[in-house]
Structure 1
Amino acid sequence: MGGSFMKNKEEYGPDQVVNDIRKLTREYPFLSTGSIGRSALGKPIPYLKIGEGPFRWHFNGACHANEWITSLLLMNFAEDYARACANRVSFWGKSAQELFARSSLWIVPMVNPDGVELVQRGMSAIHPFYENLLKWNRGSNRFHRWKANARGVDLNDQFPAHWEEERARRSIHEPGPRDYGGERPLSEPEAIALSDFTEQTDFHAVIALHSQGEEIYWNYRNNEPPESRDWSERLAASAGYRAVYLEGSDAGYKDWFIANYRRPGFTVEVGWGHNPLPMDGFEEMYDDVARLLAEALDCSPS
């Protein structure tokens, strides 16, 4: 398997996400789409929904700007899943029709479109935050190390799950490429949108794709339910990743979800190398990640 969105792509940005979602919903009318909100610069943050079952899954990617390859992984997964449902064929060893009937999946492929655009294109003097971004990026117009949004806030340090402890641990008190959690939890429109969307949709389980390391983090301060460990081991076995018990990390989306809902939440660190991960390893990475995501859907109760 392997969706067509991976072909001839050197990078994958906000415009491609919007265009490809439009193509998918035209090709597969049983898909639906919308927006969870807008970024700091007003870009839409679209979602794609597939499935009609009672168990509500959520996958998201590109919370960190230079991890945009996770958006392409999710979009290819969505295309392969939709095609398998339409053709009533096997999907990574599972029945696509059965998964569709058991679970509903909302995918937000690119949480941080402004940051992704900075990483891929840099900026010109007409950028609304030009002077500040230049200062925060140590005078450089090269943003390949940039993880934050357009206001220099790390969106995965933005959630109200021991946010103060994470801020003290990071000891970063001004905007920059990474690890600045903002002046308060949920100060950024992207984080607010994801939090509100999660609360409104009442997901039963979530996966946040990041890169890199080929690891799965599944716990948070003993708030996770008993099935989280078992599910993480299933996901790890499907992809050849490691399920890792993580301590000393707070304020992430997965942390907040587990603490708030006491339901399974996972951070999956895809691939191996330095961010942004190179495209020459994409097909192998996609093979691992697609198997993992299909296995996650198969964890949905019958």
Structure 2
Amino acid sequence: MHILVTGGAGFIGGNYVRRLLDGRSALPVDRVTVLDKLTYAGNLANLAPVADHPGLRVVEGDIADPDLVPKLLGGVDAVVNFAAETHVDRSIRDPAEFVRTNVLGTQNLLDAARAARLPRFVQVSTDEVYGSIDEGAWTEEWPLAPNSPYAAAKAGADLLALACARTHGLDLSVTRCSNNYGPYQFPEKLVPLFVTTLLRGGTVPLYGDGLNVRDWLHVDDHCRGIDLVLAEGGPGEVYNIGGGRELDNRSLTGLILDACGADWSAVRQVADRKGHDRRYALDDSKLRALGYRPEVAFEDGLAQTIAWYREHPDWWRPLLPVTAASAPSA
């Protein structure tokens, strides 16, 4: 099986590529082509553990390139599209790039997939397309109500993908995940930003009152869910992938402080993000009916993640100039 993984040098995409090639996936994959623009968040070091695998090919390029993408689809059995601009704060400052990559880039992939009669396509999305929810949890039928430019661009991509499935018959499924954490995550997101800052003796920025709630999903569980959707998901269907562990940002900060040997003097309150969603919560019973269960307990996964950053400063220290002005994304 030959899979094209777009955005495969990023955090989640890189974890997925390693899973496909290191024997953890149950899918019969022998070839993986990675298409990645290698912007600030794309990093070939994320693929180092499988860099010598004979089935891996890495192409530097843009999913919005109408000449390149069709050339990569010959002999491909499936596309898994991770390629996206993802940082909410960046989207507030410069939404145009998010529209170009997340919306127009996805449409270019869909056009090429149709022309190539691609057998299977998975569009990887986010719970942020649903907006914010005070109580309960979103099902896949919940109306989309994105509040940030990032979420709006991802919602647009979802709708284009589903329209392609329904109008043209492309065998395509959409996944929507909750907040990911784990190794190799670019340190502009909350967990790696806080950990790498505290490991250097710095202070971390906590938005507003810190009571915004997120459901946390280890990247390995997310990739396990994507495998299941790729193998068994229905055409034109959406599947939520949750971690089942809700925490407000203040509580999460406390856990990270304790694990890094710091206290609340290392936290500085910053003005809340514009349009900051208060709470995310996913109902993933649809995917659980196919056999999905998160396997990484949050406390274990967080400890393992912090240990990974502690043990791999050679990976994250070169990224510090890029992240110096970042605020936490959660």
The verdict on a shared fold, with TM-score over 0.5 as the criterion, is no
Asked which structure has the greater RCO (Cα within 8 Å, sep 6+), the reply is 1
TM-score (norm 1): 0.31
TM-score (norm 2): 0.29
